[in-house]
Structure 1
Amino acid sequence: MATLRPLKRYQLTTDLVIAGAFGLLSLVVELVGSAASTSIAGGALMVIAFTAALAVRRLQPGIALCLAWAGAALQMALGMTPSPTNLSIFAVLYATAAYGSTRVFWSGFASAIAGAVIVPAYLVGRGMSEPPTAEVWFVAGALLLAAGFALMLSWVSGALVRTAMRAAENSRAQRLAEAETIAEQQRVRIARDMHDVVAHSLAVVIAQADGARYAAATDPAATSDALATISTTARAALTDVRLLLTQLRHSQAEGPQPTLADLEELFARMRAAGLALDVVVDPAPPGEPPAAAQLAVYRILQEALTNALRHGVDPRVHVQLGWFADRVVLSVRNARSTASPVSTSPASGHGVIGMRERAQLAGGSLTAGAEYGEFVVKATLPIGAGG
């Protein structure tokens, strides 16, 4: 079944209006120039074929070429003389080269060559009863050159437009790919910078706080200096983090980050997609966990469940969440059937790499791989004493 090229509404409307006006004028010309009823009926059918070819030339160039050939065959079968209706052939050849598939593209090329041969043969051979003279051969050669030039010019013009459109599409795709690569590199750099800023600042703050606690009883001045250092370091870190977040907002859409309250919606979507989820939360979160831990848990679960949905051969998935005083431990187990090798699991795919990086940025760790006939994702993330 022939597929239709996607056209905008104004393009389709323009083609239909032009074809309608062309068909109406061609029909008037044919009716005025025809006397016999057979010629009138044949002329009307020929006009319909060429008009239909003109109307669908961009929508379906292959069908338009067939209709043009049908109209030309009918015209020659009835012995009709060339008429303005034949001008639609040039538009059809242009469309086959500009918009047609590879097969239609080369069919248009073959049609242009065949038409260049058929036109002089038909025109010179009409009504000839004697062998052709030198003058007749000269006229036939001139017609061959003229018809070939006109038909091939139409086809070549379409081929040039086709080349230009493909070059523009390739350039646009290359620009999009380059922009996506740059954006990804920027996000990776910002994530790495964020990790460095937070890790370094917290290390300084912890060291100074421990020193101030030990020196509080013997050296109050040292305690005051340590608190000043903590304050300065924290303010600098906050400024750096705000700057990095501002950069992120320029490359990603703004919006609230997911939290533990959004997990039920995530589980509901996965169940609706076909997973049989068994979710166990034990122990429950002690209070309100840090926002960073909530985001990391959500993203890791989101990616793990997505991988289970895409690559798992069994819909059963077991999710275990354990919120302890200083850490959260989660695991996602995707049950496998005995007929499926666990080696097909995407343990080293981009999804697992992303989950592992997410866990590392949160200060934790993540493993993923085969375990007792299942594909298991395990992560441990620190959340700080007291949540």
Structure 2
Amino acid sequence: MIRRVPVPLLVLDIIGALIGLAITVPLTLLMIAPSPSGWITDSGWGTTLYIVVSVLLWGAAAIVRFSPPLALAIAWAAAILQMGVGLWPVIANIAIFGVLFAVGAWGSRRLMWLGGASAVAGGVLAGVYVPLLQQIGMPPSSDAALQMLIFGLLTGSTVLFSLALSWGAGLLWRSVRQSRETREAQLRAEAKAAEEQERVSIARDMHDVVAHSLAVVIAQADGARYAAASHPEMAQEALGTIATTARGALSDVRMLLTQLRHRQGDGPQPTLADLETLFAQVRRAGIEPRVTVDPMPPGEPPGAIQLAVYRILQEALTNALRHGAGDVDVRLSWLPDRVDIEVRNTVTGAAAPTGGGHGLVGMRERAQLVGGTLVAGRNAGIFTVTAALPIGSAAHAGSGGSP
């Protein structure tokens, strides 16, 4: 029954209705013919009833946005009163057009169809009422009956078309408004999804950088603690490695935070040229990565593929540092259409990473972002990470997102 309407719009509707009432009432009083209902003319109530009907019609127009059902009911009450006492249609009846428009635009679904039915009923009633009103007091004849029928058809069809046009305009506005709301909801959903994807991407990068660097730092710190008593020079070397790794991690974290602050995915990212630095960090942490590249890359791989290879190897080597025992075998096979990655290391006991860790999830996401696949698992004491990343249309398609 009641809609939430901004106060300025409600005030605008009321002012518009008052202006319409102020214009149409004087014009109505100037243009009305003597009422065919003798008791109204004789009693002097004709002018008063015209004013009452006008006030009701424009009152309905004033609240039509605030309460479409009440406005439609008031408009029907005014029309029934007008026909019941035998008043002629007046200029104030144009307010009905505004009521039907609002019912089609803002009414409930049931009220919307009631508005359409009201337009049809209004046209039929006008086609019957106006000719009957015109024939009151005139002698009956066959010609008069034919004229009355033709006049009724013309009047009814004209009124029906006008009312239906107003109601249809309301339906059109309803459709436009719903389309706009749907589009706005879609844009909000897309923005939210983009923000969530960006947060996941940055969280993945943060995990890759911090987890690897901390693994190196922990390994070096443990070695330095044991070597401090018997081999001070090795402890100094380990502390130097810790400082270098920490500075690199701090630089990477600052870069990621800058991307987060400015909401942009561009910026310097690791490439294949940085793999040697990564392998050197692992060597300084006490594990020797045995790296095999066969065949070599055929040219310059796409940037998204280089980043995915670096991050996958970084996380796989981090897992080897944290959970492995012994050296790590790394193999890269740069085929014409893809690059195959395999990282193998020995694990002892129950120390192998599980599928629920953030690192394994991040590696799988890295592979999926460029259209590839990744499988990780333990078999006979060997933990193996294998990935296949396409080089071509799939890789280029995946490079469009934030790394």
| TM-score with structure 2 setting the length | 0.58
What pairs up with 1:132-281 in 2 under 5 angstroms?
Answer: 133-217=145-229, 219-249=231-261
- Residue in structure 2 matched with residue 94 of structure 1 by the alignment: 101
Contact 2:127/2:155 (8 A) holds in 1: yes
Q: Which amino acid aligns with 1:22?
A: G
- Residue in structure 2 matched with residue 7 of structure 1 by the alignment: 5
Equivalent residue of 1:98, what SS? helix
The Cα of 1:220 is off from its aligned counterpart by: 4.6
Question: What are the superposed Cα offsets for residues 343-385 of structure 1, whole Å, 9 maximum, x if unpaired?
Answer: xxxxxxxxxxxxxxxxx88xxxxxxxxxxxxxxxxxxxxxxxx
The Cα of 1:95 is off from its aligned counterpart by: 0.5
Give the number of the structure whose alpha-carbon radius of gyration is greater.
Answer: 2
- Residue in structure 2 matched with residue 49 of structure 1 by the alignment: 56
Classify 1:238/1:181 alpha carbon distance in 2 versus 1 (closer, same or farther; 3 Å): same
Structure 2 distance, partners of 1:238, 1:76, is: 85
Question: What are the superposed Cα offsets for residues 197-250 of structure 1, whole Å, 9 maximum, x if unpaired?
Answer: 222111101111222333445555433332222111101111222233334445
Question: What are the superposed Cα offsets for residues 31-52 of structure 1, whole Å, 9 maximum, x if unpaired?
Answer: 4447742102211210111010
Structure 1 distance, partners of 2:80, 2:262, is: 62
Classify 1:6/1:113 alpha carbon distance in 2 versus 1 (closer, same or farther; 3 Å): same
Structure 2 distance, partners of 1:222, 1:134, is: 118
2:22 pairs with 21, 24, 33, which one? Answer: 24
The Cα of 1:167 is off from its aligned counterpart by: 0.7
Structure 1 distance, partners of 2:188, 2:96, is: 38
Contact 2:104/2:168 (8 A) holds in 1: yes
The Cα of 1:166 is off from its aligned counterpart by: 0.4
The Cα of 1:10 is off from its aligned counterpart by: 2.0
Structure 1 distance, partners of 2:65, 2:228, is: 84
The Cα of 1:69 is off from its aligned counterpart by: 0.8
Structure 2 distance, partners of 1:31, 1:75, is: 15
Q: Which amino acid aligns with 2:154?
A: A
Structure 1 distance, partners of 2:58, 2:157, is: 26
Higher deviation after alignment, 213-222 or 103-112? 213-222
Q: Which amino acid aligns with 1:151?
A: L
What pairs up with 1:335-374 in 2 under 5 angstroms?
Answer: none
What percent of counterpart residues are identical? 42
Equivalent residue of 2:258, what SS? helix
Structure 2 distance, partners of 1:69, 1:26, is: 19
Contact 1:93/1:151 (8 A) holds in 2: yes
1:40 pairs with 38, 47, 52, which one? Answer: 47
The Cα of 1:113 is off from its aligned counterpart by: 0.4
Higher deviation after alignment, 87-96 or 122-131? 122-131
Structure 1 distance, partners of 2:229, 2:22, is: 104
The Cα of 1:137 is off from its aligned counterpart by: 2.1
Structure 1 distance, partners of 2:33, 2:4, is: 39
Equivalent residue of 1:6, what SS? coil
Contact 1:34/1:40 (8 A) holds in 2: no
Structure 1 residue runs of 5 or longer lacking an equivalent are 252-359, 362-387
Contact 1:30/1:40 (8 A) holds in 2: no
What pairs up with 1:298-309 in 2 under 5 angstroms?
Answer: none
Q: Which amino acid aligns with 1:113?
A: V
Question: What are the superposed Cα offsets for residues 318-346 of structure 1, whole Å, 9 maximum, x if unpaired?
Answer: xxxxxxxxxxxxxxxxxxxxxxxxxxxxx
Structure 2 distance, partners of 1:179, 1:83, is: 53
Equivalent residue of 2:5, what SS? coil
Residue correspondences, number: 252
Structure 1 distance, partners of 2:171, 2:46, is: 36
Contact 1:54/1:88 (8 A) holds in 2: yes
Structure 2 residue runs of 5 or longer lacking an equivalent are 35-40, 264-356, 359-403
Contact 2:28/2:91 (8 A) holds in 1: no
Question: What are the superposed Cα offsets for residues 130-188 of structure 1, whole Å, 9 maximum, x if unpaired?
Answer: 36533332222222221111111101011000001001101111111121122223223
Q: Which amino acid aligns with 2:194?
A: I
The Cα of 1:70 is off from its aligned counterpart by: 1.0
- Residue in structure 1 matched with residue 127 of structure 2 by the alignment: 120
The Cα of 1:101 is off from its aligned counterpart by: 0.9
- Residue in structure 1 matched with residue 354 of structure 2 by the alignment: none
| TM-score with structure 1 setting the length | 0.60
1:72 pairs with 67, 79, 94, which one? Answer: 79
Structure 2 distance, partners of 1:31, 1:116, is: 25
